[in-house]
Amino acid sequence: MNGAGANAAEGLTALPRAVGSAGFRTLLAKEVLRFWKVSFQTVAAPVLTGVLYLLVFGHVLEDRVEVFPGVGYTAFLIPGLVAMSLLQNAFANSSSSLIQSKITGNLVFVLLPPISNREFFLAYVTAAVVRGLVVGIGVFAVTVWFAPPPLKAPLWIAVFAVLGAALLGVLGLIAGIVSDKFDQLAAFQNFVIMPATFLSGVFYSVHGLPPFWQAVSHLNPFFYLIDGFRHGFFAVSDASPWLSLAIVLAALAAASAVALSMLARGYKIRN
């Protein structure tokens, strides 16, 4: 692999080859160790947040809302909270790591070595998936005691957890590349990622919404992430998991193509 130039189109198909490289593995290890060293902030804090949501909303709404027949509200809420924490932390990992390295200037340590764009991309996204899964599992492990949800199709849970974290990891990478300052990144997080995850059916089933808002929800790719993820628990969902899978894969491919093409052009990173 003495990569003679890397363009985005070739990038997507050639991703698997990058996994074997020492550059990828080292950068992945560095990225995982980076968040693990501050796990109180990167893991424990989001787990606590998830638990607080559950305690407050679960307590208030448990007796008033039945989303799916025979499923209590707290049990319904747990997979949604797990998914939301997982997605938000995957985004936070790649975006904040990249922008910190850009602003402090230590990104140069990764740009000087012979690391390809694909390896760079994969390392940041994989680390984001690891962080998302660690936080997601943490939230689940703490909340599951309140109202254990069934695990009817665990494979779907795993598929949507990994793909969702990967999608948000890629979006975080893009946000980190594009942003020059922390407040630009914060805007991306607060005005795009937060509303999209909040309005994707974490706290409710979109079936309960008026038709117009149902239609709007169906345009939000995060809705399919949460819906597919929840399907793995209850085997009941608003959309077919296969449709959700197709939409999530398409969103992931599109976002990855954008990120790889930015990296191939050196956009804001090697200019």
Partner 1 sequence: MPDIAAIEVTELVKRYPRVTALDGVSLRVEQGEFFGLLGPNGAGKTTLISIVAGLARASSGRATVMGRDVVADYRAARSRIGVVPQELVFDPFFTVRETLRFQSGYFGLRRNDDWIDEVMANLDLTAKAQANMRTLSGGMKRRVLVAQALVHRPPVIVLDEPTAGVDVELRQGLWAFIRRLNREGHTIVLTTHYLEEAQQLCGRIGMLKGGRLIALDRTQALLQRLADVQVRLRLRGTLPPALRGRAIEQGDGRVKLRVAAAADVEGVLAACREAGAAIDEVEVGHADLEDVFMQLMAGDRQRVAA
CB 92 within 8 A of CB 45: no
Report the C-alpha gap between 156 and 182 in whole angstroms. Answer: 35
**In this structure, what are the phi and psi dihedrals at residue 228, rounded to the nearest 5 degrees?**
-65, -40
Q: Name which of 152 and 270 has its Cβ closer to partner 1.
A: 270
Q: Name which of 22 and 158 has its Cβ closer to partner 1.
A: 22
Q: What are the residues binding partner 1 (CB under 8 A)?
A: 1-5, 21-23, 25-27, 29-30, 33-34, 37-38, 101, 104-106, 108-116, 266, 270-271
User: Looking at residue 235, what DSSP letter applies?
Assistant: S
- Least Å distance between CB 4 and partner 1? 6
CB 46 within 8 A of CB 139: yes
Q: Name which of 34 and 218 has its Cβ closer to partner 1.
A: 34
- Least Å distance between CB 93 and partner 1? 13
Q: Name which of 3 and 216 has its Cβ closer to partner 1.
A: 3
Q: How far is CA 84 from CA 199, 216, 258, in A?
A: 11, 19, 24
- Least Å distance between CB 38 and partner 1? 7
- Least Å distance between CB 45 and partner 1? 17
Q: Name which of 109 and 242 has its Cβ closer to partner 1.
A: 109
Burial of 78 (0-12, 13-18, 19+ CB in 10 A): buried
- Least Å distance between CB 3 and partner 1? 6
Report the C-alpha gap between 46 and 85 in whole angstroms. Answer: 7
